[in-house]
Structure 1
Amino acid sequence: MTEIEVRELVPSEYREWDLLVQETQPGTLFHTSDWLETYRNVLSKDLRFYGCFRNDNELVGGCPLFVRNFKGILKMASSTSNMIDYCGPLIKESSSTRTNKKAQETHEIFDALRKFLCRQGFDSIHLRFSPGIEDIRPFTWNGWDSKVHYTHHLNLKENVDNKISRTIRKDLKSVLKAGLETKIWNDLETYYSLLSKTYERQNLKPPLPKRFFEKVFDLIQKKDIGYMLISETPEGEAVAAHLTLYGKESTIGWSSARNPAFNLRGSNALLYYNEFLDLQSRNFEYMNVMAGNVPRFADYIMGFSPKLVPYYSVTLENKKYSILKALYKVAT
């Protein structure tokens, strides 16, 4: 078995990491250095890229991690952060056509990564894998807890009109009758205003500060990583918005927001419907609608008949972390 070396990447190697993300099917925009460094720079997070190398110089896998020290007591590592649902380990696609060889290579890389992370002195480690990575046994076989999560893939190669429910049709009819239209409108102020109103309705603050979204809109403009679609009234008032990010053969429905004061149902349905038609015309294969883990969102998106897709996370906690977590739960 080939020896795999794991070490932290230096900034000059981030380009090599981004090439791995691009070449690996489960790699997403959330894995890229541009996206993750936005978190590091805006939120002052401790971000580390760990790379797995074969023969000293071939990058064959790795994982970005956010590291947090809690009051000098706990050292925690996680591959996720606010509005990053998955950004876990990646491995280079195997060139072998044999199932057993592919599994051997996966286990070889993940075992090396797991052992390395366990030597870093973390009190807890949480890794959430992208959809498409199914074999997490190198972790679960070695005492890590696992959990299944869900997203939805809407097939853009099928006729959308044949897939939508009666309720969605009714909602579309009502908003079209009211004159609502959709358009691409990459405007930060419009988006953040709608997002703020969405969270204000729940007495919450947006999950990330405005300056973070400023950087996202800069990336959209400079690197063409996605776009924003809005629903607006005949008077030109934006009442709902979707921020969609581009993948390899798909897109990711990353964030949606709406004005709760607009009472007419269907503004979101119109966004999804026209978005699906637009993406079809540009030959994307499917849209990853990230709404599978919240019941009311999952129930709503099922009106478009998407495919339910599982993905996985693994967690390792030491005794100190487990005890302090249990005490915190009792205290609160």
Structure 2
Amino acid sequence: MEGIEVRELLPSEYKEWDLLVEEAQPGTLFHTSDWLEICRDVLSKDLKIYGCFRNGELVGGCPLFVKNIRGILKVATSTCRMTSYSGPLIKESASTKASKRMQETHEILNPLREFLCKQGFDSIHLTFAPGFEDIRPFTWNGWDSAVHYTHYLYLKENIDSNLSRERQMELKTATEAGLKTRALNDPETYYRLLSLAYEKQKLEPPLPEEFYERVFKLFQEKNIGYMFVSETPEGEAVAAHLNLYGKKCAVIWTAALNPDFAHLGPIAHLYYNEFLDLNSRDFKYMNVMAANIPAFVDFIMGFSPELIPYYSVTLESKKYSIAKTLYKTTRELPLS
């Protein structure tokens, strides 16, 4: 088989990258150039998308955000705030043989790994999307690995029979209070609810308002998702989800809530009605990104989801490991 050439993509080649994201099964919205450019622009990231070519055809690659820390350390990661996974992608194999598919995967990932190791990074952290299972080209070559989790709610199941008693009581409370749900793509409403939720905890929202404005613009221009709200009978939005469309699924990306209305069960109300809405539109499952934080897990388990693993790999230089140890000791070196 022909060799693989790895190089950084030019912005003019991002459309070709997006086609690969669309065709590759583990490809997600978080891989697309639109999403990556929002992260780059709003969060002031240095974005690089590396492509793997065979005879001029793009067959794989990986986006990375690169940061220089005090001119001493050069770190790269495939994720950033509120982007839980991205990482390497490869073109889907046409073979039905497991051995052939594995061979093709490794023939793309091995050159990609070797290329990344030559870029002078002191730390490289890659988080693969759910569904990308074979990370051995990295772990067999000295990279550390970790497992993470998300939850899938399969839409063809009977949601009522899967609800815990606590979620049933919350839904009853929401119904008796007259809460209603609908799609409402209004960034100001969302950010108001988000700010209220974080003010209650004396924290700042995880992303600046501009980030959400850019996401809502994509909702309108490219139909990549929608906002779903729970409202009082008077029409006041009290809770909201921002949902992103994936392959056969919707990703429940982020939630916002007016804490003064939490006792009415609006979040359970949102999940339940999203389930019914997406099922009616022939989606297969909801990807509920709430499996790595214990407080969120306790809530979402009331819907009986399936636990789905995904993986990350990390390679660190000795210099980075020493700096990280010093940081943990002194809390003076900003490594994140």
| TM-score past 0.5 threshold | yes
For residues 236-260 of structure 1, the C-alpha deviation after alignment (integer angstroms, 9 at most, x for no partner) is 2211100001012111000101011
More deviation, 258-267/241-250: 258-267
- Which residue type is aligned with residue 303 of structure 2? F
Q: How does 1:250-329 map to 2 (within 5 A)?
A: 250-329=249-328
Cα distance between partner residues in 2 of 1:294 and 1:261: 23
For residues 216-273 of structure 1, the C-alpha deviation after alignment (integer angstroms, 9 at most, x for no partner) is 1111011111110111112222111000010121110001010112242411000000
Does the Cα contact within 8 Å between 2:179 and 2:230 map onto a contact in 1? yes
Which SS does the other structure have where 1:245 is aligned? strand
Q: How many residues align?
A: 331
Does the Cα contact within 8 Å between 2:187 and 2:213 map onto a contact in 1? yes
Q: Does 1:115 align with 2:118?
A: no
| Corresponding residue for residue 70 of structure 1 | 69
Instruction: Give the Å deviation of 1:129.
Output: 0.1
| Corresponding residue for residue 224 of structure 2 | 225
More deviation, 203-212/320-329: 203-212
| Corresponding residue for residue 12 of structure 2 | 12
Cα distance between partner residues in 1 of 2:217 and 2:256: 19
Cα distance between partner residues in 2 of 1:103 and 1:79: 23
Cα distance between partner residues in 2 of 1:125 and 1:101: 28
| Corresponding residue for residue 158 of structure 2 | 159
| Corresponding residue for residue 95 of structure 1 | 94
Q: How does 1:173-188 map to 2 (within 5 A)?
A: 173-188=172-187
For residues 254-295 of structure 1, the C-alpha deviation after alignment (integer angstroms, 9 at most, x for no partner) is 010101122424110000000000000000000100001001
Cα distance between partner residues in 2 of 1:77 and 1:268: 35
Cα distance between partner residues in 2 of 1:201 and 1:289: 24
| Corresponding residue for residue 241 of structure 1 | 240
Cα distance between partner residues in 1 of 2:184 and 2:262: 22
Cα distance between partner residues in 1 of 2:21 and 2:314: 23
- Which residue type is aligned with residue 21 of structure 1? V
Cα distance between partner residues in 2 of 1:273 and 1:93: 34
Q: Does 1:21 align with 2:21?
A: yes
| Corresponding residue for residue 204 of structure 1 | 203
| Corresponding residue for residue 51 of structure 2 | 51
- Which residue type is aligned with residue 33 of structure 2? S
Return the TM-score normalized by structure 2.
0.97
- Which residue type is aligned with residue 14 of structure 2? Y
Cα distance between partner residues in 2 of 1:249 and 1:262: 32
| Corresponding residue for residue 35 of structure 2 | 35
Does the Cα contact within 8 Å between 2:146 and 2:311 map onto a contact in 1? yes
Cα distance between partner residues in 2 of 1:135 and 1:40: 28
- Which residue type is aligned with residue 97 of structure 1? T
Cα distance between partner residues in 2 of 1:79 and 1:193: 29
- Which residue type is aligned with residue 86 of structure 1? Y
For residues 45-68 of structure 1, the C-alpha deviation after alignment (integer angstroms, 9 at most, x for no partner) is 10000000112x111100000000
Which SS does the other structure have where 1:262 is aligned? helix
Which SS does the other structure have where 2:169 is aligned? helix
Cα distance between partner residues in 1 of 2:301 and 2:43: 35
Which SS does the other structure have where 1:168 is aligned? helix
Cα distance between partner residues in 1 of 2:44 and 2:312: 25
| Corresponding residue for residue 334 of structure 2 | none
Does the Cα contact within 8 Å between 2:177 and 2:264 map onto a contact in 1? no
Change (3 A) 1:15 1:169: same
More deviation, 228-237/290-299: 228-237
Q: Does 1:140 align with 2:139?
A: yes
Instruction: Give the Å deviation of 1:44.
Output: 2.3
Cα distance between partner residues in 2 of 1:202 and 1:77: 31
Cα distance between partner residues in 1 of 2:280 and 2:169: 24
Change (3 A) 1:299 1:263: closer
Cα distance between partner residues in 2 of 1:266 and 1:42: 33
Q: What is the percent sequence identity of the aligned residues?
A: 68
* Unaligned stretches of 5+ residues in structure 2: 332-336
Instruction: Give the Å deviation of 1:162.
Output: 1.8
Which SS does the other structure have where 1:86 is aligned? coil
Cα distance between partner residues in 2 of 1:60 and 1:199: 42
Which SS does the other structure have where 2:260 is aligned? coil
* Unaligned stretches of 5+ residues in structure 1: none
